[in-house]
């Protein structure tokens, strides 16, 4: 199999702020794996926070090509060979996506069917990024009825996070989820979760920094379910997550692809944990790949492609707040026709 890749800078519709950063553009690495006249597509969204970059991902891809050999269905063997190259989960995910795309195309079925899963999962949340309480409420009003649930980014460090949720709650009846991206200290978290319990918040994502030793106590005392994201990357993290959380947020860019994320979903269910499926800011390639397994999950947060000003790919249908994967073979993704003619 032949692997090629290119890096593309994707512009966001509007700057996107979370507790640790503000972004106007993101870089994605798009890959193609060619086999027998067919092409499988994948996307890597390397995260600086996890020590990955476009440079480290592309260096990994250059080394990985020689380990693919010639059978795209040999997913287990390929994964074992790639494990000899450490880290680079985003790039590993891109390869996993492209191999699944190829397998689906060879079998003539969409990946969700290849996996034996249902096509349609829960509705996606829409992210209201971090801003002042009033600003977040105004942006919430503009969302209208396109989405069935909202995820609020919190963690400004100004003591106004509960106010933010109250302001947004004042303008919408939609289910609310909040993501703190590791920004709260334990005392703050213990206090805030009590207040959020009264505001109809479905769950609080990653309130404490990854590995914080107050996680178990927070889980015990919180009236609102705690989900972890930065705390859980691959299958080996799921058991420890059960001590500090009621659920886990799976992302292909962390797990290294669909295969590991499916294993994590079942492991989480076995431990009585809720399963959420998230994403990075990425194009319809990455979102289509994740959407293939959305039906396995209790909560879905796959709005990454909808945050882009000009998604270079198509392949996911957004219908009544739900991200529906294609019924075409493989991932069903295609390059969008140029809008500039």
What is the contact surface with Mg ion in residues (CB under 5 A)? 179, 205, 229
Minimum CB separation of residue 152 from Mg ion in Å reads 11
Structure tokens at 225: 């379910």
Contacts of 55 (CB under 8 A, 6+ apart): none
Minimum CB separation of residue 274 from Mg ion in Å reads 14
213-217 contact pairs (CB < 8 A, 24+): 214/186, 214/189, 215/243, 215/244, 215/245, 216/243, 216/244, 217/186, 217/190
Minimum CB separation of residue 172 from Mg ion in Å reads 20
Complex with Mg ion: residue 227 or 313, whichever CB lies closer: 227
* Angle separating helix axes 89-107 and 75-82, nearest 10 degrees: 160
Residue nearest to Mg ion (CB): 229
Complex with Mg ion: residue 229 or 298, whichever CB lies closer: 229
Burial of 336 (0-12, 13-18, 19+ CB in 10 A): middle
Complex with Mg ion: residue 161 or 179, whichever CB lies closer: 179
Minimum CB separation of residue 120 from Mg ion in Å reads 23
Sheet with 274-277: strands ordered across: 125-128, 149-153, 176-179, 201-205, 226-228, 247-250, 274-277, 299-300
Complex with Mg ion: residue 88 or 179, whichever CB lies closer: 179
Minimum CB separation of residue 333 from Mg ion in Å reads 24
Distance of CA 237 to the CA centre of its chain: 17
* Angle separating helix axes 54-64 and 89-107, nearest 10 degrees: 50
Minimum CB separation of residue 251 from Mg ion in Å reads 8
Complex with Mg ion: residue 96 or 179, whichever CB lies closer: 179
Complex with Mg ion: residue 40 or 278, whichever CB lies closer: 278
């Amino acid at each position: 199999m032949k692997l090629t890749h290119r890096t593309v800078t994707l512009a966001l519709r509007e700057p996107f702020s979370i507790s640790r950063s503000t972004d106007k553009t993101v870089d994605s690495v798009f890959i193609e794996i060619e086999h027998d006249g067919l092409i499988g597509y994948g996307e890597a969204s390397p995260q600086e926070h996890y020590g990955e970059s476009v440079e480290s991902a592309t260096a990994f891809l250059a080394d990985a090509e020689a380990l693919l050999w010639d059978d795209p269905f040999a997913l287990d063997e390929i994964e074992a060979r790639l494990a000899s190259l450490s880290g680079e989960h985003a790039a590993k995910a891109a390869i996993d996506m492209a191999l699944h795309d190829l397998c689906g195309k060879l079998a003539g079925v969409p990946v969700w069917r290849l996996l034996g899963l249902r096509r349609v999962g829960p509705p996606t949340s829409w992210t209201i990024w971090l801003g002042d309480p009033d600003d977040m409420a105004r942006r919430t009003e503009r969302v209208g009825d396109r989405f069935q649930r909202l995820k609020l980014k919190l963690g400004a460090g100004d003591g106004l996070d509960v106010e933010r949720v109250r302001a947004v709650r004042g303008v919408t009846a939609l289910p609310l989820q909040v993501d703190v991206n590791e920004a709260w200290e334990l005392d703050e978290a213990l206090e805030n979760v009590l207040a959020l319990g009264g505001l109809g918040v479905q769950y609080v994502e990653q309130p404490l920094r990854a590995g914080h030793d107050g996680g178990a106590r927070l889980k015990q005392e919180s009236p609102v379910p705690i989900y972890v994201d930065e705390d859980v990357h691959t299958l080996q993290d799921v058991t420890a997550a059960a001590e500090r959380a009621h659920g886990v947020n799976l992302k292909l860019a962390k797990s290294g692809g669909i295969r590991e994320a499916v294993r994590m979903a079942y492991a989480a269910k076995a431990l009585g944990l809720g399963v959420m499926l998230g994403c990075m800011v990425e194009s319809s390639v990455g979102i289509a790949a994740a959407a293939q397994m959305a039906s396995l999950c209790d909560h879905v947060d796959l709005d990454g492609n909808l945050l882009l000003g000009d998604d270079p790919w198509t392949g996911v249908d957004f219908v009544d707040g739900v991200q529906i994967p294609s019924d075409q073979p493989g991932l069903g993704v295609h390059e969008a026709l140029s809008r500039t003619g």
